[in-house]
Amino acid sequence: MGSVQIVTTVLAAAITAVAVWLAVRAVLKMVAVIRLGQPAPERFADKGTRAKTMLVETAGHTRMLRWGVVGAAHWFVMVGFIVLSLLVLEAYFEVVSPTGGLPLIGGLAVYGLVTEVIAVLGTVGILVLIAIRVRNRPTRPGGRSRFTGSTMWQGYFVEAVVLAVLVMGFVIRGFKVATDHFEYPLWATPVSHALGALLPAWPAGVSVAALIKIVISMTWLIVIALNVTMGVAWHRFLAFFNIFFKREPARPAGSGLGPLRPMTSNGKPLDFEEADPEKDQFGVAQVEQFTWKGLLDFSTCTECGRCQSQCPAWNTGKPLSPKLLVLSLRDHAYAKAPYLLAGGGKDLTGEEKATAAQLAHLDVLTLAEADKPLIGDAEAGGVIDPDVLWSCTTCGACVEQCPVDIEHVDHIVDMRRYQVLIESSFPSEAGVMLRNLENKGNPWGAPQNTREDWTKGLGFEVPRVGEVDDFEYLFWVGCAGAFEDRAKKTTRAVATLLNEAGVSFAILGEGETCSGDPARRIGNEFVFQMLAQQNVETLNEAFEGREQAKRKIVATCPHCFNTLGNEYGQLGGEFEVVHHTQLLAHLVSTGRLTPVQPVDGGVTYHDPCYLGRHNRVFAAPREVLGSAINGGGRADTDLIEMPRNSERSFCCGAGGARMWMEEKIGKRINVDRVEEAMSTGARTVAVGCPFCSTMLNDGVNGKGAGEQVEVVDVASVLLRSVRPDTAPGQQETAPTAG
């Protein structure tokens, strides 16, 4: 060992020892903070499925690749980071000796080839990611980007380190080539050989370059160890755990979509008949009241901004950014952690749990952070502004796009639950809706004895459960379908089509009440459970004696479809629920409904969030519309897709109980969507949700385009094609503006 190697070895050992010590300390701190969260025992169930899902998502980059070039570049960088960690390890042998290398695999030509290819592609990948970050920098001309609010220096630092480590790997190999110490042939490592031809034959070059590579790598480790909230770096370790512990690893729609988490206290579902607000947790009022998985979510955020780029609130000038909400919760959790770890915290009555002696060593900044309310405006110094909390439509776009499976919607609703149930703090206009749900069983406050008025004048009898001995489907009409004028036309169209196809069905009529979706999404779990338990009891009675496969429900409202099919199981109601577009698509494909009249003027389709993104029903409504558009055998016209469609469909603005809240900030979400629909040139905008129908109709009227564009349900489009003679009576024409 020469003098250069002695120096490089000592320096490499010293910086590595410091970096490893700091990293271990940081990991222990991070684990301690995450463990402050509430229990979530269900996250440990079905480990096999969890492991499989985690491997598929990470190795296959299934979410990242939805972004094409970005996903491919990130995959090569990820693989490069994992595989080329071996080259960092190899550098420790090279600081000791210029001819050093990994034992066993170090001299294999295939190892040299694989690492060479990965290094080249990783270098290209990181350059692409750097270019994308620069092109989308928040300060660029043209307004906000998905990186707005991200800590940009951290992103640039991480990318620069990755690039530098990759380059130094080639430099080390180049010096080995120049000094005839390289063990791999030209065909396996052409880039290294080409670089070696340009470098001088400096014997100490290998050890010096290896030291530089180690210093760069350990500097990166030291920096992230001193910044435990540096998600852009830590996610490469935490993402595996966050994906493994996702809520429903087997769910096709993705974890955090579809059903909401039930309210829990100390890891157990809350029983409202026995719950005590002084002993049981009602929603989330303090950051430590999130589950440990919630705190892991916040720690894992990469600050990539994909959620932000898709959020309808953010894109229309609202204060909500799912990314910034998560970052605020993350920063608050880690700033408050010393207080919590010292034994501090408020019990459910608001009393301090720690003694003065326990808190005596804490600095004023930590104590000030501990005193911040979780929800509060700027004057109150809250972590999350109320306008942020109530801007969410629960559309799930953030969850759909998150590459590390953060469950934004669950966290938002948990905070809403505390505000509604304990603080009685929510937008005032929603209070009317909640009172109507409690007193009338529907959000509009319509009399219960008018639930069957939509059946009048149909020309055939609509049977009620109890009046017929058997039926194949229970037709869940829903509150909108029973009371809202536009939605009633959809209900009549569906009933007419089912009758035409010979499908036996029955309705509950006055026995039906609201599914509870708006109450649950606004955070009033008590009202949701009251309504849901009533409906579960009614439905179980209607299906009494039937096996699971024959307890079939068809619903026209995606919110009812989602609630009955995905959430009633939490309360003992197990049913097979289909959306009306799924049933209609089946009836058309089996020849029980035959479209004959083509639809003129062009048709575009708006994917409802709770049908598409939350439940992955994309094909069925398009199949129905395709058959109607080409009715009568014509095959020269296709559905016109909006730029944002399917899983990237833009919300109408009605979800999350926002249907009953005024949109006072920024541009109206429904107007934004209507402008996109109108840009296609289609005269018909087809929908599959009564809320979407209302919102888009209002948007069309607001644009003064009621004479040029019609918003109509998929079922009504099909009815016009199947029975042109009766279709005019089913039309859902937009009322004139004013």
pLDDT at res. 66:
83
Given this model, what pLDDT does residue 104 score?
A: 80
707 near 636, Cβ under 8 Å? no
Q: What is residue 268's predicted lDDT score, i.e. its pLDDT?
A: 93
Model pLDDT, residue 738: 30
Listed in sequence order, the residues at least 6 apart from 233 whose beta carbon sits closer than 8 Å to its beta carbon are: 154, 158, 220, 223, 224, 227
96's tokens: 């000791």
Which has the closest alpha carbon to 596: 500, 527, 685, 681? 500
Q: Helix (H, G, I), strand (E, B), or coil: what is residue 469?
A: coil
Q: What is the pLDDT of residues 591-608, one digit of tens each?
A: 999 999 888 889 999 999
% of the chain beyond a pLDDT of 70:
97
**pLDDT score for 691:** 97
Indicate the range of 77-91, 446-460, 497-511 predicted with least confidence.
77-91
> What is d(CA 554, CA 494) in angstroms, rounded to the nearest whole number?
10
Task: State pTM to two decimals.
Answer: 0.93
Q: Give me the helices (H) in 35-108, please.
A: 47-59, 69-83, 85-96
State mean pLDDT over 611-639. Answer: 86
What three-state secondary structure class fits 256? Answer: coil
Q: What is the pLDDT of residue 642?
A: 96
Q: Is the pLDDT of residue 449 over 90?
A: yes
pLDDT beyond 50 at 732: no
Strands 603-605 and 576-579: unpaired
Residue 632 has a pLDDT of 56
Work out the mean pLDDT of the chain and round it to a whole number.
92
Kindly state the average pLDDT of the residues 294-308: 96
* Encoded amino acid at 699, one letter: G
pLDDT at 170 over 50: yes
Each residue's pLDDT tens digit, 525-582: 999 999 999 999 999 999 998 888 899 999 999 999 999 999 999 999 999 999 999 9
Query: Distance between CA atoms of 682 and 625, rounded to whole angstroms?
Result: 13
Segment 264-274, tens digit of pLDDT = 999 999 988 88
CB 463 within 8 Å of CB 473: no
Average pLDDT over residues 688-700: 96
Instruction: Check whether 736 has a pLDDT greater than 60.
Output: no
- H or E stretch at 614: none
Strands 473-476 and 552-555 come out as parallel
Q: What is the pLDDT of residues 663-673, one digit of tens each?
A: 999 999 999 99
179-182 contact pairs (CB < 8 A, 24+): 179/98, 179/203, 179/205, 179/206, 181/98, 181/99, 181/206
Categorize the per-residue pLDDT at 466 as very low, low, confident or very high, splitting at 50, 70 and 90: confident
Residues 721-729 have a mean pLDDT of: 70
Question: For position 142, what pLDDT does the model report?
Answer: 67
Does the structure show a pLDDT above 60 at 657?
yes
Question: Residues near 392 by Cβ (< 8 Å), separated by ≥ 6?
Answer: 313, 320, 409, 412, 656, 658
Residues 6+ apart with CB under 8 A from 268: none
pLDDT above 80: residue 350: yes
**Cα–Cα–Cα angle for 301, 302, 307, nearest 5°?**
75
For residues 448-464, average pLDDT? 93
| Mean pLDDT computed over 253-261 | 87
Distances (CA, A) of 608 to 116, 282, 688, 689, 696: 47, 30, 6, 6, 11
Predicted pLDDT of residue 728: 43
Asked whether residue 717 carries a pLDDT value surpassing 70, the answer given is: yes
Mean pLDDT within 7-25: 96
